[in-house]
A and B are shown apart, each in its own frame.
Chain A
């Protein structure tokens, strides 16, 4: 197999992985009827905290945990405001993004310009020795394997477990779920925290593996692209994986464009992921019936128990 092609595929995987995490988390949040527009802020929080911990302790495991916790903490603020204090989900999500950008820049002041050696690659014994597929499929860091595992787990959870059914019920009709005795607010809290942990993980992947260093505002809109991916996936985990890899491929075009002899200014190449996001949203959203059939019916609505 061609070496350039091999490297391209490996870069696509690193570019797609943070999107998979952030988007699968948001998918679960939205299936519970909550729209959290703060993904970008939570990713940055995760990125800066995990990088700080990696730098100070040298432990990749602790760094990953720190990224998840940071994302959860930020999600907790969102959950408290929207679920306990009935604030607008749209406004609160925007606030979370603005706050996350500012806070991460402040916390990351002393971390700018420091490098990190990245996560250790896990070579699956025997399988990674295989020609081509060994390097392509069985020689990644733990978070890449984790991203596939989490999509499968979420798919199983939503479609095959009772708890997943409860979560979907809450997202589709919180009043009916409440009438059945389901604790709507508690389910939504848990979903939102899960989303925060996933966004934090996505951020951690950016600062630990993708770059690997801390740069102010380094997520560069990936949190928003993750939100668009959930729509692209029409709230189905499997399609989300496809979308993330599509976007991963487009976002690395700018890196390989020059090498492939495409002579377009780098700024214009960098627009591609954002323009693709818009295009994809148009293609999916124009089918109103499909959106209506698949979108959680209570998405974005506050729940106040009347009885």
Chain B
């Protein structure tokens, strides 16, 4: 009989090994999945992991996909550490995109240097405003933030759909549900000629650094961690629960809004009915895979970005459904949660 025995202290080694172990098992499960679907394993492996990154363009695309995942992933890690379950980052991302796009469209005949900074401010504010709703309802009325932030994601999706087919539709766009293309002053600078890699990737690195400093070097970071690990100890230490909830949600909403603005001002360049392939949800997996640690999130973001790219390549070269990516991401999170048991427990044979 196999049983679990609680360790006296969590194993640090397993903390690092568990994500790698989970990745390995996901890989095996993925190959099994391909075998079941009747896809040649070698070709699938090549399409998912080698072809996407076999060119400079591919690496740049990896950065394009990883940037939003990392920016949101870092922010969610901070919230999850404090046991604030903001799972509506996708909605906050959409609102950031909408707010930023509104500024771009408002100034569409203006080439001033200030257009892009204003868009960034609007994007962050849009995401924060959307996250402020669950924060207010949680602190004022004790409403579970999981349900409210998620419900607001559905509302945000519908809001975007309405805006691009109504008020924000391109007046010369033959009634297609999309906004005017942004003018140059409203687009993020590209940092690699001939690719779509934009300045947002640099910002993502900055967010990692800022997240690391916040969590490990500041009193606020300490308060957030204590609140997550032992809420009552946090309360006795005088850390205000309400303030921490607000902080966690504002960081999450702000970063998600920023990521949304980067999507519309970067790779997309206009407002479309859909501006994200679920980055806000995938960032939840990124946060857990990265051990709720900014540096870990950096690597986890790259891994998950590869899963998006691999899924797209496999769709083109092997005509595999895009949904395979979702299955992979779900499996990875399952295996990660399963291997996490090794951190706090020893597996014993009796």
Residues of A in contact with B (beta carbons under 8 Å apart): 37, 77, 81, 85-88, 90-92, 94-96, 98-103, 105-106, 109, 216, 220-221, 224, 227-228, 231, 265, 267-268, 270-271, 274-275, 277-278, 281-282, 285-286, 288, 291, 304
User: How far is the CB of B260 from the nearest CB of chain A, in Å?
Assistant: 18
Q: Are B338 and A99 in contact (CB under 8 A)?
A: no
Q: Are A98 and B146 in contact (CB under 8 A)?
A: no
Q: Are A274 and B152 in contact (CB under 8 A)?
A: yes
Q: Are B154 and A81 in contact (CB under 8 A)?
A: no
Closest Cβ neighbor of A100 among chain B residues: B330
B84-111 vs A, CB cutoff 8 Å, 1 = contact: the mask equals: 0101000000000000000000000000
Q: Are B152 and A224 in contact (CB under 8 A)?
A: no
The one of B154, B333, B341 in contact with A95, judged by C-beta atoms closer than 8 angstroms, is: B333
User: How far is the CB of A111 from the nearest CB of chain B, in Å?
Assistant: 12
Binds A, one of B9-17, B136-144, B195-203, B208-216: B136-144
Please give 12 more A-B residue pairs, beta carbons under 8 A apart, in addition to A85-B4, A90-B146, A106-B326.
A85-B340, A91-B337, A102-B327, A103-B326, A105-B323, A106-B323, A265-B165, A271-B154, A271-B155, A275-B155, A278-B151, A282-B137
Interface of A is mostly: helix
Chain A positions within 8 Å of B6 at CB level: 304
Q: Are B331 and A99 in contact (CB under 8 A)?
A: yes
Chain A positions within 8 Å of B151 at CB level: 221, 224, 228, 274-275, 277-278
Chain A positions within 8 Å of B176 at CB level: none
Cα(A90)–Cα(B144), bound, Å: 12
Chain A positions within 8 Å of B147 at CB level: 224, 227-228, 231, 277-278, 281
The one of B324, B328, B337 in contact with A85, judged by C-beta atoms closer than 8 angstroms, is: B337
User: How far is the CB of A123 from the nearest CB of chain B, in Å?
Assistant: 37
Given contacts A87-B337, A95-B333, contact A285 B144 (CB under 8 A): yes
User: How far is the CB of B344 from the nearest CB of chain A, in Å?
Assistant: 7
Binds A, one of B46-54, B180-188, B218-226, B281-289: B281-289
Closest Cβ neighbor of A108 among chain B residues: B323
Query: Residue B162 at the A interface, CB < 8 A?
Result: yes
Q: Are B146 and A267 in contact (CB under 8 A)?
A: no
Cα(A99)–Cα(B67), bound, Å: 23
Chain A positions within 8 Å of B281 at CB level: 98
Q: Are B337 and A92 in contact (CB under 8 A)?
A: yes
Q: Which of B305-350 contact A (CB under 8 A)?
A: 321, 323-331, 333-334, 337-338, 340-341, 344-345
Chain B positions within 8 Å of A285 at CB level: 137, 141-144
Q: Are B337 and A98 in contact (CB under 8 A)?
A: no
User: How far is the CB of A281 from the nearest CB of chain B, in Å?
Assistant: 5
Query: Residue B158 at the A interface, CB < 8 A?
Result: yes
Q: Are B143 and A282 in contact (CB under 8 A)?
A: yes
Cα(A96)–Cα(B4), bound, Å: 23
Q: Are B345 and A86 in contact (CB under 8 A)?
A: yes
Cα(A286)–Cα(B4), bound, Å: 40
Most buried by B among A88, A285, A288: A285
Q: Are A231 and B144 in contact (CB under 8 A)?
A: yes
The 3 A-B pairs with the shortest beta carbon distances in the complex, nearest first, are A102-B326, A99-B330, A105-B323
Q: Which of B135-183 contact A (CB under 8 A)?
A: 137, 140-144, 146-148, 150-152, 154-155, 158-159, 161-162, 165-166
